[in-house]
Chain A
Amino acid sequence: MTTAAPAKTTYEAVIGLETHCQLSTETKIFCPCSTQFGTEPNHNVCPVCMGMPGVLPVLNQKVLEYAVKAGMALNCDIARFSKFDRKQYFYPDLPKNYQISQYDLPIAQNGWLEIELVDELGSATRKTIGITRLHMEEDAGKLVHGGSDRLSGSTFSLADYNRAGVPLCEIVSEPDIRSGQEAAEYAQELRRILRYMGVCDGNMQEGSLRCDVNISVRPVGQEAFGTKVEIKNMNSFNAIQRAIDYEIQRQVEVLESGGTLSQETRLWEEGAQRTISMRSKEGSSDYRYFPEPDLTPIEVPLAQLETWRSQLPELPAQKRHRYETDLELSAYDARILTDDLAVAQYFEATLWAGAPAKQAVNWIMSDITGYLNTEKRSISEIALTPAALAELIALIESSTISSKIAKDLLPKLLSQGGSPKALVEQKGLTQISDSATLTALIDQILAAHPQELEQYRAGKTKLQGFFVGQIMKKTNGRADPKLANQILSKKLKG
């Protein structure tokens, strides 16, 4: 097909993420101060994290362990030889005027993680996102700006160094991401992995997980990257997705209208749902990195690496694959169940206690999740043990109780626990599946409602529902629904 107008250029976005994750240690990375969040300002400080002259930082063993394990979970090569470096810059959130970080020899490099995008129909597409590097560094302090609610315009600032020296690992992705959705999924998968490992709580509101986005657009088919813009200040996965979608559109519009983009840092404004320019970046900053002379290099012995590798748990992607392949769950179900490790563990414990997978999934994803959402609780806080859930499911499977009775019992079991079997016996809720008993009962009901029976036989067959209701009412829901319906149908026809 030929047209007079030139074909409209289509653009693609090239996106990479830099994620800072706070490692869940008791103490800071180089000193024995507490890492507790929310303590009064400058409570968790000492001469080391305050950068006093003559002090000696020493690496926290747990930080090294967590960083190495995170690197392994992200399929990275763990460095045979790694070291720390000083990154120099002047900003009052940094008491030493340099940050201890890792420059050319990070602890882990060349990894990947797999993201899974599920569409509306529930089918999953998988994509691998490369991990360039993972390194250890110290966090900076927090500034409160005085005289204005923003930095520009403030006449002074107040520094709180509780966070200075809190251990971070920075994880840099390859520019393999192409959309806001992929970026949000990458960040969520990263958080899932770190949470499964127990190395980071991933709380974005408290700043334990912070994502910066690098994004550029280019015409499809072009090899060279476009002008790169960095976006900061997104504190939810949703915000990451929307900030990227906004920025892609903005950059394309600038190019389409014949403009040029400048290399800059932009802030996501949650209220206005847009990005605004924060500062321009002319060339790369000169941080004058040099090896940190106060810390020794790291050469993790092979035996130690093997021990740490053997302690890695089954990771979210592995669990999803196993649930889909071995348990034949849908991609959607597998994804929901594995999102939170505690839920996955609860589900698996229910299976070990003998419950069939499908039924366990249904109970956990509908009634139990509903209860957790209303009560604002996590699955580890409910009184119903996985074994008791399996017992409840077994009672339904063996037709001892109907699933309606089971649903009625659930609130009590969730809040008070105990054995479903004992509760059923104590309350006399065992299902009535004896046909003689049900026949007698149905005869009684039909005799008590001659008018309705007459109407039914005159063609108002909808009234069958009325009779079923009467049966359930009389038996407190204990009648075996299938059997009762069979008998009722026969009796109604006369």
Chain B
Amino acid sequence: MIGQQDVQKVAHLARLTLTPAEEAQFTTQLGAILEYVEQLNELDVTTVEPTTRAIDVSNITRPDQQHPHPNRAQILAGAPDPEGDFFRVPKIMDS
């Protein structure tokens, strides 16, 4: 069973700030989801290969040929805070 501490940890990893009420709410909801999925444990899968992907395709590659993107300026213009040729980002570390 998932506990409130697990929810706090997941929230921290996802950089989410939750109120104690939200933590309690998500603990119940996530618990219910996990419980539902746990029904799969009833199946014996010892002889089944692990699935890493839903579609059975492998080895899709492309040739090493350049195709510069036609509108790079637009990419930069879409940023919340462009500065010259750069993307400006907020302070990273609290000193």
Using a CB–CB cutoff of 8 Å, the interface residues on chain A facing chain B are 25-27, 32-34, 40-47, 50, 52, 58-64, 83, 88, 90-92, 105, 143-146, 151-161, 286, 288, 291, 293, 295-301
Q: Are A60 and B91 in contact (CB under 8 A)?
A: no
Q: Are B66 and A33 in contact (CB under 8 A)?
A: yes
Q: B-side binding surface: helix, strand, loop or mixed?
A: loop
Q: Are B58 and A32 in contact (CB under 8 A)?
A: no
Q: If the complex has contacts A158-B86, A159-B86, A299-B59, are A50 and B66 also in contact, measured as CB distance less than 8 A?
A: no
- Which residue of A58, A160, A299, A300 is within 8 Å of B62 (Cβ)? A58
Total interface residues in chain B, CB < 8 Å: 34
B48 within 8 A of A: no
- Which residue of A44, A47, A61, A157 is within 8 Å of B64 (Cβ)? A61
Q: Are A300 and B59 in contact (CB under 8 A)?
A: yes
Q: If the complex has contacts A26-B66, A27-B66, A62-B64, are A41 and B86 also in contact, measured as CB distance less than 8 A?
A: yes
B75 within 8 A of A: yes
- Which residue of A59, A143, A159, A297 is within 8 Å of B53 (Cβ)? A297
Q: Are A298 and B13 in contact (CB under 8 A)?
A: no
| Most central of A32, A52, A83 by chain B CB within 10 Å | A32
Q: A-side binding surface: helix, strand, loop or mixed?
A: loop
Residues of B within 8 A of A146 (CB): 88
Q: How far is the CB of A322 from chain B (nearest CB, A)?
A: 33
- Which residue of A58, A61, A154 is within 8 Å of B91 (Cβ)? A154
Residues of A within 8 A of B15 (CB): 90
- Which residue of B52, B72, B90 is within 8 Å of A42 (Cβ)? B72
B1 within 8 A of A: no
Complex CA gap A159/B89 in Å reads 7
Q: How far is the CB of A25 from chain B (nearest CB, A)?
A: 5
Complex CA gap A395/B88 in Å reads 67
Q: How far is the CB of A154 from chain B (nearest CB, A)?
A: 7
Q: If the complex has contacts A43-B72, A45-B72, A288-B13, are A151 and B59 also in contact, measured as CB distance less than 8 A?
A: no
18 further interface pairs, Cβ-Cβ under 8 Å (given A42-B87, A298-B58): A26-B65, A32-B67, A41-B85, A46-B72, A47-B75, A58-B60, A58-B61, A59-B62, A64-B61, A88-B13, A152-B93, A154-B92, A159-B87, A159-B89, A296-B53, A296-B59, A298-B59, A299-B58
B63 within 8 A of A: yes
Complex CA gap A158/B57 in Å reads 39
As a 0/1 sequence over residues 1 to 20 of chain B, the CB contacts with chain A under 8 angstroms (1 = contact) are 00000000100010100000
For chain B, residues 42 to 75, give those with C-beta under 8 angstroms from any C-beta of chain A. Answer: 52-53, 55, 57-69, 72, 75
